[in-house]
Chains A and B, each alone.
Chain A
């Protein structure tokens, strides 16, 4: 995340910021097992000496309470709900995610803008508009998409918390049959995620398998991503060497490359965090 990339316009005041941490997103539909995997990953990262933190939707200090209250009363229209979620997201981005990345944390994010885009699109919101609204999002170091089909999803949900009003899309499907709404809504959501997997270069993980198998995949991939964080404090000599070795194949930068079809506002400076010297300019 040293080189900060945005899908649209950078956040005010963050245009030239260096963020040595790693932003790792776990995406996927409701009940697929994201929070279980994040809990395991966080503990595993910490056990290996990495400072890790987690964040998820509707957890902002600013908007979480108001958003939950508005959802309880089902009082929001689609536009309002999207903008309210965007407010919650930017508050967490600015107050939790960016400060943690700046401090060098591995930030595990339970859902990101992709869930917001999927939810907006199944409700018929203009796809370009929602992408523009969320254009201030940092491009993550990796997005792991826990992919599942409706047949594998159903028993898990019934076995855990049952069908939820919002997770069944009852706000827009209007029907009385919660089961039917759930199947319809989740099928549509999964289609949206599948389409975004290409658009945003998701790392697709087969989540129809059991928890240890999914964890094994995530652990292996994340090990590679965080590998460059383990380098010992660099001396003046190795600093120069780092700079000379700099190439487009560098692991961290490679992954934060902009996805196709989107304008990535790249911060021109692509040096390693420790490599700033006057000679490196220009």
Chain B
């Protein structure tokens, strides 16, 4: 179960995925999401840096390069705080399964890679809900870089860690920054007991393992009838062309 920082258990389940860029965690979480919906569970999805209240400020800070390591850290904490207060916690209280693409460990890894104090970043995230299951998608640096940098995509300033001045070349900066993050994640895996998924395995095998890991935690999670209008469509021979199906079937945001 998921628990509040004071240990109070919540009815819902919080499953989170972590890993460096290119580890394949989002792909796997998406597959899990669809599977849980098909099994009839009530599922909510949330991703890093997506709070409607805070996001604009983060974007402004990134576009104008206003962010220091400390303000970068705090604005991301504000983002998660808002998503917990308005989205994650209410859903967990209602007994839903919440899937989070990146969670506090992303901050622990990235912010420390930016020179932030380890203890301080752990202290500011003390408000966070304890996840039911935290999966870390472990991938070697070179493998993840190959997955991401194929086709030479444009790397953003903060994404590449260029604010740290590691290199003038965005690709080299990105490589060095990701290496630092990866090293930090390895500390975190041991410190918080994250469950490691070998992200070099075939995708089908990873998904099978993910489902095996999640299954024991599903008892008590709230179910909901997805597409409750289905019967009417069949009976009346309708197509449902005016139904907003993507918003109503629990698969939004994927």
Contact = CB atoms under 8 A, between A and B. Distances in A.
A66 B81 contact: no
Interface string A46-81: 000000000000000111011101100001111110
Given A80-B78, A83-B74, A83-B78, A12 B53 contact: no
Contact residues of A: prevailing secondary structure: helix
A95 B71 CA distance: 11
Nearest to B67: A62
B71 A94 contact: yes
Interface in B101-118: 114-117
B82 A76 contact: yes
A77 B87 CA distance: 11
A16 interface: no
A11 interface: yes
Interface stretch (B37-45, B123-131, B179-187, B198-206): B123-131
Interface residues of A, number: 34
Interface stretch (A25-33, A128-136, A175-183, A228-236): A128-136
A43 interface: no
Given A79-B84, A80-B85, A87-B75, A62 B66 contact: yes
Interface string A7-19: 0110111000000
A215 interface: no
A87 B78 contact: yes
A189 B171 CA distance: 51
Interface stretch (B13-21, B56-64, B235-243): B56-64
Nearest to B78: A83
B120 A62 contact: no
B85 A90 contact: no
A63 B82 contact: no
Contact of A75 (B53, B66, B75, B124): B53
Given A70-B53, A79-B127, A80-B54, A90 B86 contact: no
A135 B53 contact: no
B97 interface: no
Nearest to A87: B74
Contacts of A107: none
Given A83-B77, A94-B71, A8 B120 contact: yes
B252 interface: no
Contacts of A132: 120, 123-124, 126
B71 A87 contact: yes
A44 to B, nearest CB: 33
B66 A61 contact: yes
Contacts of A12: 68-70, 114-117
Contact of B126 (A62, A91, A129): A129
B168 interface: no
B142 interface: no
A164 interface: no
B191 interface: no
Interface in A164-196: none
B81 A80 contact: yes
Contacts of B52: 75
A62 B117 contact: no
Given A65-B60, A126-B126, A132-B120, A80 B70 contact: no
A133 B68 contact: no
A76 B78 CA distance: 10
Interface of B: 51-54, 56-57, 60-61, 64, 66-71, 74-75, 77-78, 81-82, 84-86, 114-117, 119-120, 123-124, 126-127
27 contacts: A9-B117, A12-B69, A12-B70, A61-B64, A61-B66, A62-B61, A62-B75, A66-B60, A70-B53, A70-B54, A77-B82, A77-B86, A79-B127, A80-B53, A80-B78, A82-B81, A83-B77, A83-B78, A83-B81, A86-B78, A87-B78, A91-B71, A94-B71, A95-B66, A129-B123, A129-B127, A135-B120
Query: What 6 A-B pairs are tightest by C-beta distance, nearest first?
Result: A66-B57, A77-B85, A83-B78, A79-B81, A132-B123, A12-B115
Given A80-B78, A94-B71, 8 more contacts: A13-B115, A62-B57, A66-B56, A79-B81, A86-B74, A91-B71, A132-B120, A135-B120
